[in-house]
Amino acid sequence: MDNYTDYPSYDYNYNYTNDNYSDGEFFTPCPVSTLHGSNIFLPILYYIIFLTGFLGNLCVIIVVTSRGKKGGRLVDTFVVNLALADLIFVLTLPLWAISASRNSYWEFGSSGNLLCKLSSYIISVNRFSNIFFLTCMSVDRYLAVVKLMDSRYLRSSRCIKITCAVVWLSSLAFGIPSLVYRRVDGQSCNDDKNSPFFLVLSLILPLLTFVLPVFVIMFCYGTIIMHLKKHCAAAAAANPRTEARRRHSLKMVLSIIVAFVVSWLPYNIFKVITISSQLLNNVPSCEDRLWQRNGVVVSCCLAFLNSCVNPVIYFLLDHHFRRRAKILFKTCLGESKLLQSYNSSTSFTNAGTSESFGISGRTQLQMSE
């Protein structure tokens, strides 16, 4: 059965086995076909994303949280939560890498079905939390630039923490369909495509969790750009340092949002096409089916790359993050050298003491003789 699924469970061996009949007509089975070399390049790519995403996002969390309350920025709360979501997500990639190396066969023994559900659920929660946190960051930039004087409470630390909690709860709720309808079907981790309710829900969710947030983001940045064009000179003259910091933060958030939209837009397009086709009972040709399936494979890879892009953006565009990372690195390096120096001096002192004791002992022995 073809896989119009949420995430990287591609049914490479599809041949119309359960869809051969439609309204009493028989359709010729499609030949088995796979994306050439997918069982090699997909596992390699997943492991690369896993390593870079794990180290990069862990570094972001350590660097940003090390600033403490004194040196922290309000937007950093969203940055940490975004990195945490990506960090949890990349932990599931080794499972998908192993499955991809076996042509999507999900062979994990008795716990295979549980791992299938949990890993798919984590991926769904990651996707939803990412776009929600990015939307919150856009609204935060909008309030900071356009409604600065009227948004003191909304941009307070307490309010932002409550917002993050609401985002996590919403993402966990939106991910429940993947937890319920995902299972090991035959030898692959697939969605239950026989449920009309799940198919309709899978079509509605991209509209609620991708299209709508993107429109909110576009509104926020459109308004910000218009506001900056009007008040650019006056604001820069009044407080040049604050204005420069605000623009810098704006550029960083915008870069993160553009990277997310570019990464996830192709996947959402392919998903809407395939689910709409199934809901309308359209049976595509073998060529169209192969094109859709390969499109999902490639777009999934692009979407997953987003989990290791954000740390690069922070390091390249956020000079606060870069400076803090360098300070932290030098501090750790200095402590490491200090520890080595201390260990060396301790060893030298101990050796010197032993040697002195030995000489003194020999002298006393000679004197007694």
Each domain of the chain, given as residue ranges in start order, spans 21-336
Q: For residue 355, is pLDDT > 70?
A: no
CA distances from 35 to 101, 190, 275, 298 (A): 12, 18, 21, 9
Instruction: For residue 68, give every residue at least 6 positions away whose Cβ sits within 8 Å of its Cβ, in sequence order, or none.
Output: none
Res 128: pLDDT: 93
- What token pair was written down for 175? 């991910």
Q: What percent of the chain has pLDDT over 70?
A: 74
Are the C-beta atoms of 82 and 310 separated by less than 8 Å?
Answer: yes
**Which residue is associated with the tokens 């050439």?**
36
- Residues of the chain with pLDDT > 90, as a percent, come to 22
Say whether 10 sits in a helix, a strand or coil.
coil
Report the phi/psi class of residue 24: left, alpha or beta, with left for phi > 0 and alpha for psi in -120 to 50.
Answer: left
- 206 vs 336 pLDDT, higher one: 206
**Whether the predicted pLDDT of 55 surpasses 80:** yes
pLDDT at 38: 80
Q: Is residue 18 over pLDDT 90?
A: no
Whether pTM > 0.85 for this model: the answer is no
The CATH number of domain 21-336 is 1.20.1070.10 = yes
